[in-house]
Amino acid sequence: MDFIKGFTFGWDSSKGDFRKEEAKESLRLMKERTGSETVILSLAALQDTAHSTEIDFNGPHMVEDEELVEMIQYARTLDLKVILKPTVNTREGTWRAHINFFDLEVPCEPKWSDWFASYTDYQLHYAKIAQKTKCEMLIIGCEMVQTERRENEWRALIGEIRKVYGGPITYNTDKYQEANVSWWDAVDVISSSGYYPITDWDRQLDRIEKIIKPYDKPFFFAEAGCPSRTGSSMIPNDWEFPGGVDLKEQADFYRVMFEKTKDREWVQGFGLWDWNCLLHKEEDAEQDRGYGVYGKPAEKIIKDFYSPAAVAKR
């Protein structure tokens, strides 16, 4: 697998957002300003709660199929590779890692079988789009920790997806959970979220390498990033962390992450988190506390790391 110089784009976009000229300009700037060669288009379907079994991927919270295809086609004009990542959130705000049901199905209670039936419909819908548009990869889930123990259901889902999508498949497990997935052999690429404390990269990389080595499959961080706020480099996964604006702390996180991974040949890329579909004004970047890097010092660190010369040294 070629090294993935990627950025996640358009997370939480709604109906009509991808049709806006500002969105296309944002994608162009993502490539120009970061040196990215791959865009990960991440979609967020909704279920009502962590214990609901119906997944809604047709409402106004989703970009429409036609505008998604149009954005993929535009990405091609920029010579970007495309990875499609349909995932799910809850309407009431509980993190998807907590989606969970009784292991022994009980009448009148929500069931794993019903949830996986709905989730399979959702994934197959976008797998067909990924096949039609020749997406380079499909990410079939993200950080769904409690679901990962349902090995048989995940294997069945992957089998159904392979009937309609011929490209490589991965699943994006959460930070610290790499050993939690017993069905890595069923996917083509192993991936996880790289939100590790800035001081802990060596230990975590040693741990992950031991876990994935027996599978002899490519690995990349399908997500990784850090908000630009004081204290976030020690807990980069916490999007609600209350620190003040700190552009240097975000830049330091990226610098250290890239330095620690550059000699680990088994780390074959990143899908950095994240580049907004609709950007703030560049002059407002110094007041932004989010994960975005547009107009911030981290932007240049990423571009330098993604440069052909830097990747060639790996």
| 74-109 tens-digit pLDDT | 999 999 999 999 999 999 999 999 999 999 999 999
For residue 30, give the 3-state DSSP assignment. helix
What is the average pLDDT value for the chain, to the nearest integer?
A: 97
Q: What is the mean pLDDT of residues 272-283?
A: 95
As to burial, measured by CB atoms within 10 angstroms (0-12 exposed, 13-18 middle, 19+ buried), residue 230 is middle
3-class secondary structure, 241: coil
Domain span holding position 270: 4-312
- Under a CB-based contact definition with an 8 Å cutoff, are residues 88 and 55 in contact? yes
Residue 272, φ and ψ in degrees, nearest 5: -60, 150
Asked if 6 contacts 258 with a C-beta cutoff of 8 angstroms, the reply is no
Residue reference for tokens 């680990």 = 264
Which residues is 84 bridged to in the sheet? Answer: 41, 138
Rounded CA separation 281/162 (Å): 42
- CA 62, CA 75: separation in Å to the nearest integer? 19
Retrieve residue 107's tokens. 């009448």
Nearest to 158 by CA among 145, 177, 139, 144: 139
Distances (CA, A) of 240 to 166, 225, 229, 289: 38, 14, 10, 10
Q: What is the DSSP letter of 13?
A: -
Measure the CA angle with vertex 301, ends 85 and 32; round to 5°.
60
Looking at residue 154, which CATH number applies to its domain? 3.20.20.80
pLDDT above 90 as % of the chain: 96
CA distance linking residue 134 with residue 37, whole number of Å: 16
Segments of 239-287 assigned E as strands: 267-275
Q: Name the phi and psi angles at 273, rounded to 5.
A: -115, 125
Instruction: Kindly indicate the confidence band of residue 140, based on its pLDDT and cuts at 50, 70 and 90.
Output: very high
Q: State the Cα–Cα distance between residues 141 and 134, nearest whole angstrom.
A: 19
In the predicted model, is pLDDT for residue 311 greater than 80?
A: no
Residue-level pLDDT at 313: 65
CA 32 to chain centre: 21
Q: How far is CA 19 from the centre of its chain?
A: 22
Which residue's structure tokens are 């609709």? 278
pLDDT confidence bin for 312, thresholds 50/70/90: low
Would you mind telling me the total number of residues written for the chain in this entry?
314
Residue 90 structure tokens: 């809850």
Domain count, the chain: 1
pLDDT of residue 308: 82
Nearest Cα neighbor of 34 from 223, 305, 308 is 305
**pLDDT higher than 80, residue 309:** no
The DSSP bridge pattern shows strands 4-9 and 189-193 to be: unpaired
Residue 9 token pair: 């784009």
The sign of the torsion formed by the CA atoms of 305, 311, 312, 314 equals positive
- The percentage of the chain sitting over the pLDDT mark of 70, rounded to a whole number, equals 98
Three-state DSSP at 50 gives coil
Residue with tokens 């932007």, as numbered in its chain: 299
